[in-house]
Amino acid sequence: MSDAAPIISTVADPSIPVVIRLRELHKIYDTGGTAVHALRGLNVDIPEGQFIAIMGASGSGKSTLLNILGALDVPSEGVYELAGNASSKMTRDQLAQLRNTYIGFIFQNFNLLARSTALENVELPMVYAGRPTAMRREAAIAALTKVDLADRTHHLPSQLSGGQQQRVAIARSLVNNPPVLLADEPTGNLDSHTTREIMRILTHLHEVEKRTVIIVTHDPGIAEFAERVIILRDGDIIADQATPRRGGPAVPDVRALTLGAA
Ligand code: ADP
Ligand code: MG
């Protein structure tokens, strides 16, 4: 780890286009009186196709950063650009449209609709995108097949294991074919065997399908699946470096470094 100014695009080939760009980005939450400065002037370039892990103790700003990277939330100050479009120049609808085209989300608690089947859950993003019914069904079945759940299409989430529920959520994140996948602690609620299975799928989506994958994790073992790791502390980037896979140093255990890490 280094205390030098943040290095931008550590492991990037400069000829690869940047899909997400942050400049002097701040996020301040103002919850009636007490302002929380959650991100403090971040500078990050994310090239197309990179696999990035974001680490840091609880409260360091990981989810805030991921939500901004995915255009679910907007910065208080600074520049956020998605595929060359600056968020400050877009309306909310334009930003939502861009998000639907570019980004797939995967969450720790899966975020599936409890009363909807696996198939209906996976169809949902296509309902929002206004796709015709027959096309939706076909694409949802293809996505569920990809995550090895073709035989569970009519199961409700409660009838599926945690790993199966997360695979449904991955299928849902893929149906609009987004180039960028964002995952917030996607294995946080899973056992080690299921965790490996989910990481194998995410690695495939990066290596074979060439998607950009950005994953928030507390676990250095998970981070080492990535090519690059960004470590946050109190809203600042304290390290931005290649992982051992790309010739970088071992990923530090932020759980050991910082009190209060979950
Ligand atoms: P992490 O994901 O690393 O645990 P978060 O991004 O969730 O951290 O939170 C960063 C800081 O911002 C924390 O101090 C947290 O309490 C605060 N925070 C996060 N979301 C909100 C919110 N919606 N309103 C107010 N404060 C928030
Ligand atoms: Mg979080």
Q: pLDDT: is 7 or 37 the higher one? A: 37
List the alpha helices (DSSP H) in the chain.
Answer: 62-69, 92-102, 118-128, 133-146, 162-174, 192-207, 220-223, 254-257
- Over residues 57-98, the pLDDT tens digits come to 999 999 999 999 999 999 999 999 999 999 888 888 888 889
Atom of ligand 1 nearest to the CA of 60: 3
* pLDDT for res 92: 87
Model's pTM, two decimal places? Answer: 0.92
Task: Give the contacts of 133 (CB within 8 A, at least 6 positions apart).
Answer: none
Q: Is 260 helix (H, G, I), strand (E, B) or coil?
A: coil
User: Atom 19, ligand 1: which residue's CA is nearest?
Assistant: 64
Asked if residue 100 lies in contact with residue 176, where contact means CB atoms within 8 angstroms, the answer is: yes
Q: Is the pLDDT of residue 1 over 50?
A: no
* pLDDT for res 138: 96
Asked if residue 243 lies in contact with residue 221, where contact means CB atoms within 8 angstroms, the answer is: no
* pLDDT for res 257: 61
Looking at the DSSP bridge assignments, the partners of residue 47 are 18
Ligand nearest to the CA of residue 26, numbered in listed order: 1
- Please give the average per-residue pLDDT across 30-39, as a whole number: 92
Asked if residue 226 lies in contact with residue 10, where contact means CB atoms within 8 angstroms, the answer is: no
Tokens at residue 76, please? 């208080």
Kindly list the protein residues whose Cβ atom lies closer than 6 A to any atom of ligand 1. 29, 31, 36, 38, 56, 58-64
* pLDDT for res 5: 47
Ligand nearest to the CA of residue 186, numbered in listed order: 2
**Band of pLDDT at residue 32, cut at 50, 70 and 90:** confident
User: Atom 15, ligand 1: which residue's CA is nearest?
Assistant: 59
Q: Report d(CA 84, CA 68) in Å as an integer.
A: 15
CA of 10 to the centre of ligand 2 (A): 24
Q: Is the pLDDT of residue 260 over 50?
A: no
Asked if residue 70 lies in contact with residue 148, where contact means CB atoms within 8 angstroms, the answer is: no
CA of 236 to the centre of ligand 1 (A): 13
Q: Is the pLDDT of residue 42 over 80?
A: yes
Task: Give the contacts of 163 (CB within 8 A, at least 6 positions apart).
Answer: 190, 191, 194, 197, 198
- Tell me which amino acid residue 97 is: Q
Angstrom distances, CA of residue 7 to CA of 53, 72, 90, 147: 15, 25, 28, 36
**Band of pLDDT at residue 10, cut at 50, 70 and 90:** low
Q: Is the pLDDT of residue 213 over 90?
A: yes
Average pLDDT score, the chain: 91
Q: pLDDT: is 250 or 31 the higher one? A: 250
The backbone torsions φ and ψ at residue 90, rounded to the nearest 5 degrees and listed phi first, read: -110, 150
Angstrom distances, CA of residue 247 to CA of 56, 100, 110, 140, 158: 21, 34, 33, 38, 42
Q: Is the pLDDT of residue 173 over 50?
A: yes
- Over residues 136-171, the pLDDT tens digits come to 999 999 999 999 999 999 999 999 999 999 999 999
Ligand nearest to the CA of residue 40, numbered in listed order: 1
CA of 234 to the centre of ligand 2 (A): 13
* pLDDT for res 163: 96
- Please give the average per-residue pLDDT across 211-221, as a whole number: 95
